Structure 1
Amino acid sequence: MLSVICESPGMLRARHIDRPARAAGEVLLRVSRVGICGTDLHIFSGTQPYLEYPRVMGHEFSAVVVDADSDSGFERDDGVYVMPYLSCGHCVACRQGKTNCCVAIKVLGVHRDGALAEYLSVPAQFVHKAEGVTLDQAAMLEFLAIGAHAVRRADVLAGQRALVVGAGPIGMAAMIFAKLRGANVTCLDTRADRLDFCKTQLDVDAAVAVGPSDTEQLSALTNNEFFDTVFDATGNIDAMNRGFGFVAHGGKYTLISIVPGQVTFSDPEFHKRETTLLASRNATIADFETVLEAMRAGRIPDQALNTHRMRLADVPDAFPRLLEPGQTVVKALVEC
Structure 2
Amino acid sequence: MLSVICESPGVLRSEQRETPLRGAGEVLLRVSRVGICGTDLHIFTGNQPYLSYPRVMGHELSGIVVEAEPQTKLAAGDAVYVMPYLSCGQCVACRQGKTNCCVNIKVLGVHRDGGLAEYLSVPAQFVHKADGVTLDQAAMLEFLAIGAHAVRRADVQPKQRVLVVGAGPIGMAAMIFAGLRGGEVTCLDTRADRLAFCASHLDIKTTVQTGAGDADALSKLTNGEFFDVVFDATGNVNAMNRGFEFIAHGGKYVLISIVPGQITFSDPEFHKREATLLGSRNATAQDFETVLDAMRAGRIPDKALNTHRMRLADVPAEFPKLLDPQQTVVKALVEC
TM over 0.5: yes
Q: Residue 16 of structure 1 corresponds to which residue in structure 2?
A: 16
2:260 alignment partner, SS class: coil
One-letter amino acid of the counterpart of residue 43, structure 1: I
- Pairing 1:132-151 to 2, within 5 Å after superposition: 132-151=132-151
In 2, distance between residues paired with 1:77 and 1:15?
A: 26
Q: Residue 290 of structure 1 corresponds to which residue in structure 2?
A: 290
- Pairing 1:61-140 to 2, within 5 Å after superposition: 61-140=61-140
- Pairing 1:1-336 to 2, within 5 Å after superposition: 1-336=1-336
2:329 alignment partner, SS class: coil
Q: Deviations over 1:109-141 (max 9, x none)?
A: 000000000000000000000000000000000
Q: How far has the Cα of 1:205 moved from its partner?
A: 2.2
Q: Deviations over 1:169-200 (max 9, x none)?
A: 00000000000000100000000100000000
Instruction: Name the count of aligned residue pairs.
Output: 336
1:182 alignment partner, SS class: coil
Q: Please list every run of 5 or more consecutive structure 1 residues that lacks an aligned counterpart in the other structure.
A: none
One-letter amino acid of the counterpart of residue 100, structure 1: N
Q: How far has the Cα of 1:24 moved from its partner?
A: 1.4
Q: How far has the Cα of 1:267 moved from its partner?
A: 0.4
Q: Deviations over 1:193-213 (max 9, x none)?
A: 000000000011201000011
Q: How far has the Cα of 1:72 moved from its partner?
A: 1.5
In 2, distance between residues paired with 1:137 and 1:83?
A: 14
In 2, distance between residues paired with 1:72 and 1:191?
A: 45
CA RMSD in angstroms, aligned pairs only = 0.4
2:71 alignment partner, SS class: coil
Q: How far has the Cα of 1:21 moved from its partner?
A: 0.5
Q: How far has the Cα of 1:71 moved from its partner?
A: 1.9
One-letter amino acid of the counterpart of residue 331, structure 2: K
Q: How far has the Cα of 1:232 moved from its partner?
A: 0.1
Q: Please list every run of 5 or more consecutive structure 2 residues that lacks an aligned counterpart in the other structure.
A: none
Q: Deviations over 1:55-101 (max 9, x none)?
A: 00000000000001122201111000000000000100000000000
